[in-house]
């Protein structure tokens, strides 16, 4: 593990470095999406504002989700480099993008459609920082899996030098989320290049990312709060339902078909 890069007297957190990398990648994807859609707007500036809002939201959500940590550490928990909740960042980031989309006259749903692939890819890249820093986002201890009379031994690894060290093999869930984020982002980018009703891409993003997070939570260390599910799983279930409903509603509200070239004008039309 490599929580910090030691540059002389300065220690650079690898989590912060990968967060910056995720923002850069996200800005590039959004900029390409704007150009593909023929939209002239400051994609980099919009991503920067959404990033700041997302960081604030992720920290606040984590504090609300972990009241015991706040009671123990006090207000300094707000400045800790660890402890960020994905759904808090997602909520605040969406709000920031909606405001900017309306101000730029792009539209609330339209800008979220354009930014959905970047959000998925950026999330996956950001998980590299969780993996390198060993901040506790990994999974539970590896145990043999018995299925249909066959015993499997899943691959795992320890994080002895992480910010939250663990000395037994656990599921490296940040790597799973990296793969899921890149795959979802690729699909949304491909889908966005085809004629699609406004709002469908956002709905698919919410549904797919929600499913991915819901599944990975089964092997993460987060506490169960209701019906054997974690807070993240409950939020993921809500995201899946909202995403499916949005995609269905958007597709029925505005069916988009590929543009066809105009029919040639007949000779008689010119002579009339």
One pLDDT digit (tens) per residue for the chain, 272 residues = 677 777 777 777 777 788 889 889 988 999 999 999 888 888 888 888 888 887 777 767 656 666 565 555 555 555 555 555 666 777 888 888 899 889 888 888 999 999 999 989 998 998 888 888 877 788 889 888 887 778 888 888 888 887 788 888 899 999 999 999 999 999 999 999 888 899 999 999 999 999 999 999 998 888 888 888 888 899 899 999 999 999 999 988 764 444 444 455 554 444 44
Q: Is residue 118 part of a domain?
A: yes
Q: Residue 248: inside a domain, yes or no?
A: no
Does 266 map to a domain? no
Beta strands of the chain (E only): which ranges? 4-7, 10-13, 145-147, 150-152, 157-159, 166-170, 224-226, 229-230
Structural domain includes residue 206: no
Residue 89 located in a structural domain: yes
- If one counts the domains in the chain, the total is 1
- The per-residue pLDDT for range 47-91, each reduced to its tens digit, is 888 888 877 777 676 566 665 655 555 555 555 555 556 667 778
Tell me whether residue 9 is in a domain. Answer: yes
Q: Is residue 128 part of a domain?
A: yes
pTM for this entry: 0.80
103 is in which domain, residue-wise? Answer: 4-151+159-186
Would 200 be classed as within a structural domain? no
CA separation, residue 170 to residues 124, 134, 232, 251, 264 (Å): 19, 11, 19, 42, 65
Position 14 scores a pLDDT of 78
């Amino acid at each position: 593990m490599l929580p910090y890069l030691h540059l002389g007297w300065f220690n650079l957190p690898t989590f912060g470095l990968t967060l910056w990398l995720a923002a850069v990648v996200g800005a590039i994807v959004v900029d390409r999406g704007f150009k593909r859609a023929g939209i002239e707007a400051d994609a980099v500036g919009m991503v920067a504002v959404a990033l700041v809002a997302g960081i604030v939201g992720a920290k606040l959500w984590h504090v609300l989700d972990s009241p015991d940590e706040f009671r123990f550490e006090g207000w300094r928990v707000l400045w800790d480099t660890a402890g960020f909740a994905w759904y808090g960042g997602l909520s605040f980031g969406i709000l920031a993008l909606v405001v900017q989309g309306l101000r730029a006259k792009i539209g609330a749903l339209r800008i979220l459609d354009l930014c959905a692939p970047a959000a998925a890819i950026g999330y996956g890249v950001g998980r590299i920082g969780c993996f390198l820093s060993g901040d506790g986002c990994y999974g539970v201890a590896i145990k043999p899996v018995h299925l249909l009379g066959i015993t499997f031994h899943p691959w795992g690894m320890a994080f002895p030098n992480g910010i939250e060290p663990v000395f037994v093999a656990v599921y490296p869930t940040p790597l799973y989320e990296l793969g899921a984020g890149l795959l979802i982002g690729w699909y949304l980018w491909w889908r966005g290049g085809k004629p699609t009703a406004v709002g469908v891409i956002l709905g698919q993003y919410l549904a797919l990312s929600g499913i991915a997070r819901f599944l990975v939570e089964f092997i993460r260390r987060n506490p169960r709060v209701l019906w054997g599910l974690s807070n993240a799983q409950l939020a993921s279930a809500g995201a899946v339902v909202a995403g499916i409903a949005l995609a269905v509603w958007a597709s029925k509200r505005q069916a988009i078909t590929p543009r066809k070239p105009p029919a040639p004008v007949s000779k008689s039309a010119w002579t009339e």
